[in-house]
Structure 1
């Protein structure tokens, strides 16, 4: 009796039980890092849109705190929420959407919500924006390298 064939195995009609197994085809995707100019444009667009919406909502709710420390923490929390939700759920922010870039993990997949949160928190490391200037060919700042992400051009 053949050990490879089980006569009692349920086989769907659309599958040939005697066909050779087909190995999945793996396509290697080349990720092209976004340049410093595009990343700066992402930052400008996100800052302008976020600042406008944040100011509008605070004005609409008459909720702007008078204490500068409270305002700072509220702004930081809102910024972390914006980047975490947008990058964790969609892989883009409004700035990245406008410039045709996206955030991916090291495998080219959209970042997990955890990686998006780490990425958002790392934006507040002192002098972090300057890390992009010294990142070399990969063009990634500390918020990218610590989270295991990369900003790439959409293909």
Structure 2
């Protein structure tokens, strides 16, 4: 860690940086994968991809919204009442099947 001394602003500690790192990795994984391939590893396995509600490719801003909403800790509870999560509803996107998963 000695080589990083002085790089971080004084109000950010290494502990805070360490605690935020899972959120950064989570954000980068979903945003980079979905903005470049419209899929994540899980979507490759299930044969699905992300599209807009009209079936076209989602814009970068829609994918950014989708990714930010996913980081909300209670987002997983949105599936209790609807098959689409908040990340789909609020970003006007859906995951569709692109091949048979048999």
Q: Deviations over 1:6-54 (max 9, x none)?
A: xxxxxxxxxxxxxxxxxxxxxxxxxxxxxxxxxxxxxxxxxxxxxxxxx
- Would the aligned equivalents of 2:27 and 2:71 in 1 still touch at CA under 8 Å? no
- The size of the alignment, in residue pairs, is 87
Matched, 1:117 2:64: yes
Please report the TM-score for the alignment, with normalisation by the length of structure 1: 0.52
Structure 1 alignment gaps of length 5 or more: 1-64
Q: In 1, distance between residues paired with 2:73 and 2:30?
A: 18
Whole-angstrom distance in 2 between the partners of 1:93 and 1:105 = 16
Q: TM-score, normalization: structure 2?
A: 0.76
RMSD, aligned α-carbons: 1.7
Structure 1 position 80 matched with structure 2 position 24 = no
1:57-136 matched pairs, under 5 angstroms: 67=15, 69-135=16-82
| Gaps in structure 2 of 5+ consecutive residues | 1-12
